[in-house]
Structure 1
Amino acid sequence: MQRFSRVVALAAVLGLAAASGAAVAKQFKYAIGQPPGSYNVDMGQRYAERVKKYTEGRHTVRVFPMTLLNMAETSAGVRDGIADIGFLLTPYFPAEYPHTNLISEASMMLRLMGEEARGKEASAFVGAITEFIFFNCPECHQEFARQNQVYTGHIGGSTYGLICTKPVKSLDDLKGKRVRSGAANWSRWATTVGATPITMSANEMREALSQGVVDCALLSTPEIHNFGLEDVVKDINMDVPGGLYTTAGFNMNVNAWRSLSAQDRRAFLRASAEGGAYTPWIYQEKEAEAIEAAKKRGVRMHTADPELLKKTQAFIEQDMETIAKYFAEKHGVKRGREMIATFRPILEKWVKLVQPVKSVDELGDLYWKEIYSKVDVEKLGQ
C-alpha cells in the first residue's frame, strides 16, 4: 500500500510538470574545438556555471574541449545532435554562413574609428555583431536554421597581428611569405601586401609553424597561449593588419533549444551574455601580458614601416566595398552594402557603450541589458 502511494504521488508530480509545460532536466553537451586551459574553454565553464545558476539547477552544461568535435567538425556535429551546443567558427564554413561571415569580415572597420576603439575592440565588436545578428539579419537566422541550429550569441578575441618565425616589418619582408589566415578578409590583405595566404585549421598551426609550412599566422597575441605556440614563435608585429576573429559561441541544436521552456531559454541567453563576456574581456586584458611573456622568451617585437601601414589603411578603406561585392558574386548575398551600412553605426554606438566598462561582470550586464534581454525567446528558433 505504501509503495502504491509513492507511485501515485510520483505520477501526480509528473502530471503537474507536464501540465505546467516544465522542461525535462538535462545535461547539455557543449563542444569547443580548443584545448583544455585555453581562454575559450574557461569561458565555456563560466557559461556552464551560469546556465546552472539561471535555470536554478534544472539544467547543466558539460564542456568538451576538443574531445567531442574539433573546429572543422562543429557545424555538422551540432546540426546532427552530436553536441547540443557548439563553439562555431563560421568562417570555416563560407558556403553555409555567408551573411554572418560578411559582418565578421568587416571587423577591420574598427581601424577606421580612431583611438577611441583602441583596447576596446573585442568588447565593442562582440556587442555590435551580436546585436546586428539578433535584430538586423534575418538571413543569418535562416542560414543557421538550414544547419538545424539556433543562434544564441557571439564572442570574439582581440586585435590580430603577425605571429611569425621570421622578422616582418615591411612590404619587402612580407613578399612571398606564407601566412596562415583564418578568414577571407585577412587572406585578401595578405595578397595585397605580397604574401601568400594559407588556409588551415587552427589546430594545425603549431606544426605548420614549427616545420616551416607557414612563416606567419594572423592571430591575436593571447592565441599564442591558447594554441601552445610559445616555443615556435620568434617574431611578432601587431601593427598590421588589425581586425579580430569572432565566433558564434553558443549555437544550439534546434531540438535542444526547443526542448527548453521559455523561462529556461531566457536563462540560457543570460548565460550567453554573462559567460560570453569573458572571452572579449580576457583577450583585451591578456594582450599586453602575452607580449611581455614573449619578450622574456626572446621573441623579437617589430613595428610596421610607414609604407606597410599606408598600404594596410588603404586596403581597409576599400575592402568594405570588396566584401559586399565578393559575397554577392561568390555566395549570392543580395544586400551586402545595406548590411555594412546598417552595421557601421551599431559598431560606432558600441565603441562608445563599452568605454566606461571596468570589469567582465559589467560587460556581461551591458550585453544582457542592451541585447539579450530584448530577444523574443518564443520566436527565436521557431
Structure 2
Amino acid sequence: MAITKSVTRAFLLAMLLIGFGQASASETLRLALGYPPGSKADEVMQKYAETVKQYTDGSLSVKVYPMSLLSAAEISDGVRDGIADIGVMYTVYFPAMYPHTNLLNESAMQLLLLDPEKLKGKAAMAFEGAMSEFTLFHCPECLEEYEKQNQVYTANATSISYGLLCTSPVTNEKQLKGKRIRVAGSHWSRWAKHFGATPTSLTINETLEGLSQGVIDCSITSPVELINLGLAEVVTDMTLAIPGGLYAGASAAGFNKNVWQGLTESQRHAILRAGASTTALSPWSSLEQVPQALELAEKEGIKQHDPDPALVKATREFVEQDMNTIVNYYAKNHGVKRGKEMLDSFHDVLVRWVDLVQDVDSPEELEKLYWDEIFSKVDVATYGMK
C-alpha cells in the first residue's frame, strides 16, 4: 500500500505541474472505477459515458478507467486532487470522511423489517431512491462531507441484497461462529460479531484473493459478484437470505468540484440527467444479472442453502436493536449529532419510495421516476457552486 500511495503522490505532482488536474468543460473527463473491465459496474459506467455525451449534445465526453487510473481505496483522494475528474466512490472505505452518508447506508438492514411482499424485487430500487433523495435534500451534512473532499455528488449506486458467499456451508449460528467474514460496513461487522464470527475489512479488489488464500471464509456481498469479481472460482456455498441489507453508500459519479464549476448550467443539468439514468441502471443491471449468476453457481457446483429459521429470526431481532446502536456508534466515534432524527426521517422517505417503485417495470421507467422525483429538482445554478 505504501508503494501505491507513493506512486499516486508522484503522479499527482507531475499532473499538477502540467495543469492536468484542471480539466475544462471542453476536455474528455476521466472517470475512475474500482471494478475490473467487463464487469457489470464497468458496463453501467460505459453507459453513463454514452448518456453524458447524449444529454450534452456531444459537448462533453467521458472516458472510463476500470481498475486502472485509481484503485477503489484511492478514488476519494484521487477525485479530490484531480487525478480523476469523476469517480465511483465507496464511502465505507473512508469512515471518518463520510460519517453521515455511512450512517444512512448502514441502516439498510431495516429492509428486513419492512413488508416482504412489497419488497420482492423492489428493495434496491426503493433504497436507491431514498438514499439519493435524502442525500440531496434532507442531509446538508452529507453534501458538506463531499464538499470538504472537493467533490460534488451527482448520482448514487446501490447493490442488491447481500448474502453469504463462502468456502464452506454457513446456515446456522453454530456454523457462523468463528468464521472470518469480509464485511462492507459496520452494521454487517456488528452482525458478524453478534453471532461469534470475526469481521474483516477488505476492498472489493481484495475479496477474491482473500477467499482463495483462506484469509476469509465468507464475503457478505451479492451473488452477482460471482461474475463481476470472479468469486465463482473460489466460492463453494451460498446462503443468500442472510444477513440481508444492501450497500448504497456509493457516489456513482462524484465530480471534482473544480471541474463541476467549470461546466455550463446546461451541462450540469445534463450531468444530473445522466446521473438519474445511472442511479436507475445501477440496481436494475444487477437485478437482471442475478439469473446469470445463479446459473453460473449451478454450473460450478456452488451449493445454495436456506438459513436456519432460528438464525433468520435472530437476525431480525438484531436489526431492530441495531438501529439504536447505529445512532450511538456514529455519535461516539464520528460526532454525528442528529443521528436518530436522520434515521427517523430517512425511514419515512424509504417507506414512501417502497410505494413509488411498485409499478416500475423497466430501467427507463425507473430513470424517469428518479429524474422527476429527485434530480430534476436540483438547482444547477447554485448546487455545488460555493
Q: 2:128 touches 2:279 (CA, 8 Å); kept in 1?
A: no
Residue 382 of structure 2 corresponds to 379
Residue 178 of structure 1 corresponds to 180
C-alpha distance after superposition, 1:321-348 (max 9, x if no partner): 1111100000000000000000001111
Residue 6 of structure 1 corresponds to none
Q: Distance in 2 between matches of 1:379 and 1:160?
A: 37
Moved more, 285-294 or 209-218: 285-294
The yes-or-no answer on 1:162 pairing with 2:164 is yes
C-alpha distance after superposition, 1:267-302 (max 9, x if no partner): 000001013311200112222331232022111111
- The amino acid across from 2:99 in the alignment is P
Residue 93 of structure 1 corresponds to 94
Q: Distance in 2 between matches of 1:215 and 1:280?
A: 27
Q: 2:163 touches 2:242 (CA, 8 Å); kept in 1?
A: yes
Residue 314 of structure 1 corresponds to 317
CA displacement at 1:320 relative to structure 2: 0.9
Residue 285 of structure 1 corresponds to 288
Residue 141 of structure 1 corresponds to 143
The match for 1:305 among 303, 308, 316 is: 308
Q: Distance in 1 between matches of 2:111 and 2:120?
A: 9
CA displacement at 1:24 relative to structure 2: 4.3
Q: How many residues align?
A: 360
Q: SS of 1:42's equivalent? A: helix
Higher alpha-carbon Rg: 1
1:96-245 → structure 2 map (5 Å cutoff): 96-115=97-116, 116-245=118-247
Q: Distance in 2 between matches of 1:324 and 1:76?
A: 27
The match for 1:323 among 323, 326, 337 is: 326
Q: Distance in 1 between matches of 2:156 and 2:141?
A: 16
- The amino acid across from 1:57 in the alignment is G
CA displacement at 1:166 relative to structure 2: 0.3
Q: Distance in 2 between matches of 1:339 and 1:135?
A: 12
Q: Distance in 1 between matches of 2:151 and 2:278?
A: 20
CA displacement at 1:65 relative to structure 2: 0.2
Q: Distance in 2 between matches of 1:191 and 1:75?
A: 29
Stretches of structure 2 lacking an aligned partner (at least 5 in a row): 1-23
The match for 1:344 among 347, 360, 365 is: 347
The match for 2:264 among 251, 258, 261 is: 261
C-alpha distance after superposition, 1:103-155 (max 9, x if no partner): 01111111111221121111111110000000000001111111111111211
Q: Distance in 2 between matches of 1:24 and 1:67?
A: 23
Q: SS of 2:128's equivalent? A: helix
Q: 2:232 touches 2:296 (CA, 8 Å); kept in 1?
A: no
Q: Distance in 1 between matches of 2:55 and 2:233?
A: 41
Q: Distance in 1 between matches of 2:297 and 2:151?
A: 39
Q: Distance in 2 between matches of 1:68 and 1:272?
A: 21
Q: SS of 2:232's equivalent? A: coil
Residue 359 of structure 1 corresponds to 362
- Over the aligned positions, Cα root-mean-square deviation in angstroms equals 1.0
Q: Distance in 2 between matches of 1:284 and 1:338?
A: 32
4+ long deviations beyond 4 Å: none
Residue 35 of structure 1 corresponds to 36
Q: Distance in 2 between matches of 1:307 and 1:356?
A: 33
Moved more, 115-124 or 339-348: 115-124
Q: Distance in 2 between matches of 1:118 and 1:248?
A: 25
Q: Distance in 2 between matches of 1:363 and 1:125?
A: 13
Q: How high is the sequence identity, in percent, across the aligned residues? A: 50
Residue 5 of structure 1 corresponds to none
Q: SS of 2:241's equivalent? A: coil
